[in-house]
Structure 1
Amino acid sequence: MNRLNQHAPAICLADLPATDGREALRLEYQWLNAGMTGAPIAIFLHEGLGSIAMWKDWPQKLCEQLGFRGLVYSRPGYGGSTPRAAQVKWPVDFMHRQAHEILPALLDVLGVDSAERARMWVIGHSDGGSIALLYAAAFPDALEGVIAIAPHVFVEDVSVKAIAEATALYTQGDLRTRLSRHHADVDSAFYGWNDIWLNPAFRHWDITDCLSSIRRPLLAVQGYDDEYGTMAQIDAIATHVPHARLAKLPACGHSPHRQCPAMLDAAILAFVARS
């Protein structure tokens, strides 16, 4: 049975060949509305502890409202994709590598051609939002638009504090049990994310300088009650990308697609319609 629900499209596996800079990888992925072959594609990039399963049915519901196909996948180290070896630590530029190498390689393997990419919307949450921004900056013509939900563009103290608190929840609380439902190797998922964000070298990570390369429509979304970041994140995006639109959601935390989906969907639908 599919991990989302028994009626959901099948989860498949894509093999990414090895390159000089990395080993071969196997990624789990899922097409939504696959029969709508002429429709634009929305690529969904999950959060730092996310996976296909953790999105639940929000990507499907959004694609139905937009009239889009959808592509959801688990990054290396997450879900049913190739796990991170226990001794491997993600490098400081791990999100750049996901945007510049892994996502383009997956699109190549799946046969998404240049014409389809030009009509593609990249939708990311949290770390996935940062990866979406980095992809849009690196490949400014290989997408139609980008939607970054609770993205990180630099490291804030509030983010580090919340991630440090997650360590205690994982080792002493029930977070490990809850996450294990969504990841084949739960320690791979958690410590890959936790270790790099708490690495002192990562405190200097900042992608604001590259954002000015983004030419396509950009919507940045942030909740006022986000425990992992402040409005300074999307305000910085607006400073570097003057054409960006901001959606600031009241009474909403770090996961708008779970906590306030109606507000988030309305903001996205209006933005895509304008664009």
Structure 2
Amino acid sequence: FCTASSLRCLASTSERNSAPKRYSSQPSTVNMPAESAEKYIARVGLTPQIEKLLDSCCRDLPAIGHLQPYLLDKLSAGTTTKVVVEDEAKKWSPSGIKMFNTPQLHTYLDDLRWYPTLQAITEQVLFKRPAQPTAFMIELLAKGDLTADVDAGDEESAAQKMQALQRGKKARQQAAAKRQAKEDKKQAEAAVQLQAMRRGQMERKAMKEKRYEAEQAMAAAAAEEEAAELAAMAAAAPAEEGAVDPAQEAAAAKMQALQRGKRARDEYMSARKEKEEQDAAATKMQAVRRGQAHRKE
């Protein structure tokens, strides 16, 4: 519960958060800005006062929801400083609960919200550093909002943090968009290059096919011409006894010429196919290397 150790914890938290602000309606003439929170707590006797309120609460056992009126009543009765508080604000009722053990008391204080209420009050005291903390606590309880000033600072800090997070998120989104645009540009350029390569391959293939057809036609014409020459020579030669029929000899010569032409074409086609396979392998290797270089970039 809110005792000496809790106040020391709150004091260290107050030291880290910000410089203390004095209570404006009753400024302290002794408390200086450089005074530590622990020294302030010891000087104004805040710890004994909180412990006294806790002991009184454990004896009186106010009803759940009546803690603030109860604290107003006890603080007003224990101070000589005149603070105007309506009697209605100090009305509280006992709970009528009977306590039999410590765990039951702990549960009751949790339901009563003792710790968060006293924590809020002591945070305000350490935040403002009033010269008369009792009068300050009475006015704070009478207003009803125990965390207004502290929450305002917390909300401002949270808003600044949210803005920083949003700026960081926006910067990351812009950087990601730039990277994506650069990647898209590279991919578009690579696609254009690939299309150009494919068009070149198709054009080269068409040219090869045309050249092959022309070569085939030339070979066939040469074979026919050679066969015709052989047939003419055989027809012009004088006939001898037992000689081969000129027509048969011409046909044989034509067949031989066709076979020679076919062998020549097969050899040419085999050599061209081997060269095309080598060219295709070289082209594939170049594409692989370009892809590797592109991925490294």
TM-score (normalised: structure 1): 0.20
> Which structure dedicates a bigger proportion of its chain to strand?
1
**Higher Cα radius of gyration:** 2
TM-score (normalised: structure 2): 0.19
